[in-house]
């Protein structure tokens, strides 16, 4: 029996596994390899430091769901792949494949600047979010200046913006806002670039938010070094800080870097064509953050990257599943949709407020793009969270 192995099991990997099995059925074996037994709804980690969510609220075991849908699950760490012999080496033994999907997500490059790992908090993992919660509990007893932002080469600016507005609201709730100078730092050439060259009206909207919430901001800056009591910027400016949260860059995981046969980029991403098939390995595919994305714009004097969010990850997982199923059925025409042509659908939380971002494509040129502020309540963000967790818990990968 032919077998597809999927490395990684969150947005892209989970979708690819469930969709492929749904399309192919019993005729083909689908195996997911992931070192984590849990599916995690990463966008809601921004709420964990403030106690609005617990990690258990936004995660669940995936083995039972996969088994119900006929997908095998192996909890193991993939170490490297030999594409000549089509064998994956894991810490629990070797695994053979006919088709391979790499949906491994990112590794965080904390070494982007001295002190980032030691003195800045990061909310992109459950452990990091809980560590941040503990730090904030201590901070409110002895408040001072705060620096929030993204480092050079970062691409996940959206989550940092969300944390910024959430911490501003939290400071008001703790009745210590007047004691805190709040700073936002970003390598973006302008507020609201988001690694997609902005949305019409976005810069003006975010400037108004910064003014309304009394947030000091710096654009086109990187991080030179982080200390326990300050952040030194690339332009030499020193910002005092008693609490610092930064989004470092993402790079490819060790599995990819340990496998030279994958011909990955310097940052550890998989080179693919618009059907998400490897450029030179016809039975290797990539989905989600593992995909190498070419940016259509120049970042500016401080480098930064494009976003790799949940919606494009889900979409690329579906495209890969569709294309593998076509190949297994003897079809030659594959579905193509370049990363930049995927629609932009995002809800940016702003501290129990939100901004809905919609565009026909992620990258320019676009036919339409709009940012819709909702200053009453972040019900769209909450609704999307509930919906996605519900559909994934039930294995309804075919739904949008």
Tell me the average pLDDT across 87-100.
Answer: 98
- CATH number for 3-107+250-336: choose from 3.50.50.60, 3.40.630.30, 3.40.190.10, 3.30.360.10: 3.50.50.60
Residue 122, classed as helix, strand or coil, is coil
Strand pairing report for 182-185 and 216-218: parallel
Tell me the average pLDDT across 385-392.
Answer: 95
> Which of the four pLDDT bands, split at 50, 70 and 90, describes residue 296?
confident
pLDDT at 110: 97
pLDDT at 163: 97
Secondary structure in 3-state letters for 338-389: CHHHCCEEEEEECCCCEEEEEECCCCCCCCCEEEEEECCCCHHHHHHHHHHH
pLDDT at 23: 95
Fold match, 3-107+250-336 / 110-248? yes
- Predicted confidence (pLDDT) per residue in 24-73, tens digit: 988 899 999 999 999 999 999 999 999 999 999 999 999 999 999 999 99
Using the structure block, give the residue that is written with the tokens 């793009």.
369
- Predicted confidence (pLDDT) per residue in 194-235, tens digit: 999 999 889 999 999 999 999 999 999 999 999 999 999 999
pLDDT exceeds cutoff 80 at 299: no
User: What are the DSSP E strand ranges found in 160-256?
Assistant: 182-185, 216-218, 223-227, 230-233, 238-240, 243-247, 250-251
Tell me the average pLDDT across 108-123.
Answer: 98
pLDDT at 268: 96
Backbone angles phi, psi at 352, to 5 degrees: 60, 25
What is the Cα–Cα distance from 53 to 167, expressed in whole angstroms? 14
Average pLDDT, the chain: 95
pTM above 0.85, yes or no: yes
Question: What are the residue boundaries of the structural domains of the chain, listed by start?
Answer: 3-107+250-336, 110-248
Q: Are 165 and 159 in contact (CB under 8 A)?
A: no
Strand pairing report for 59-61 and 38-40: antiparallel
pLDDT at 376: 80
> Which of the four pLDDT bands, split at 50, 70 and 90, describes residue 378?
confident
CA distances from 351 to 171, 294, 308, 373 (A): 11, 32, 22, 12
Backbone angles phi, psi at 310, to 5 degrees: -65, -40
- CATH number for 110-248: choose from 3.50.50.60, 3.40.50.1820, 3.40.50.620, 3.30.230.10: 3.50.50.60
- What residues contact residue 127 under an 8 Å CB cut-off, 6+ apart? none
pLDDT at 143: 98
What is the Cα–Cα distance from 252 to 242, expressed in whole angstroms? 31
What is the Cα–Cα distance from 297 to 303, expressed in whole angstroms? 11
pLDDT at 298: 80
């Amino acid at each position: 029996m032919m077998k597809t192995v999927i490395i990684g099991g969150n947005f892209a990997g989970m979708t690819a596994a469930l969709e492929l099995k749904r399309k192919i059925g019993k005729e083909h074996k689908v195996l997911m390899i992931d070192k984590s037994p849990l599916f995690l709804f990463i966008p809601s980690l921004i709420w964990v430091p403030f106690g609005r969510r617990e990690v258990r609220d936004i995660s669940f075991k995936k083995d039972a769901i996969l088994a119900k849908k006929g997908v095998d699950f192996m909890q193991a760490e993939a170490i490297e792949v030999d594409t000549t012999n089509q064998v994956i080496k894991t810490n629990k033994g070797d695994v053979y494949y006919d088709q391979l999907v790499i949906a491994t997500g990112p590794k965080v490059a904390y070494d982007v600047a001295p002190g980032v790992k030691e003195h800045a908090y990061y909310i992109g993992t459950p452990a990091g979010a809980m560590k941040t919660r503990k730090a904030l509990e201590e901070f409110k007893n002895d408040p001072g200046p705060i620096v929030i932002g993204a480092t050079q080469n970062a691409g996940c600016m959206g989550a940092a913006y969300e944390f910024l507005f959430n911490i501003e609201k939290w400071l008001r709730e703790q009745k210590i806002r007047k004691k805190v100078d709040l700073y936002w730092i970003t390598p973006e050439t302008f507020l609201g670039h988001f690694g997609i060259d902005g949305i019409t009206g976005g810069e003006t909207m975010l400037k108004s938010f910064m003014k309304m919430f009394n947030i000091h901001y710096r654009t086109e800056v990187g991080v030179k070094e982080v200390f326990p009591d300050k952040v030194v910027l690339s332009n030499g400016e020193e910002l005092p800080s008693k609490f610092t949260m930064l989004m470092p860059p993402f790079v490819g995981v060790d599995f990819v870097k340990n496998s030279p046969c994958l011909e990955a980029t310097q940052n550890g991403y998989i080179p693919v064509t618009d059907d998400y098939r490897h450029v030179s390995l016809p039975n290797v595919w990539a989905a989600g953050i593992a995909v190498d994305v070419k940016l259509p714009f120049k970042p500016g004097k401080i480098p930064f990257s494009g976003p790799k969010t949940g919606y494009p990850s889900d979409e690329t997982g579906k495209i890969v599943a569709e294309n593998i199923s076509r190949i297994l059925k003897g079809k030659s025409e594959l579905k193509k949709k370049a990363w930049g042509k995927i629609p932009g659908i995002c809800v940016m939380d702003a501290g129990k407020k939100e901004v809905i971002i919609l565009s026909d494509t992620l990258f320019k040129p676009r036919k339409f793009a709009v940012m819709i502020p909702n200053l009453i309540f972040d019900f769209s963000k909450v609704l999307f969270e509930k919906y996605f967790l519900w559909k994934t818990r039930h294995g309804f990968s075919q739904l949008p």
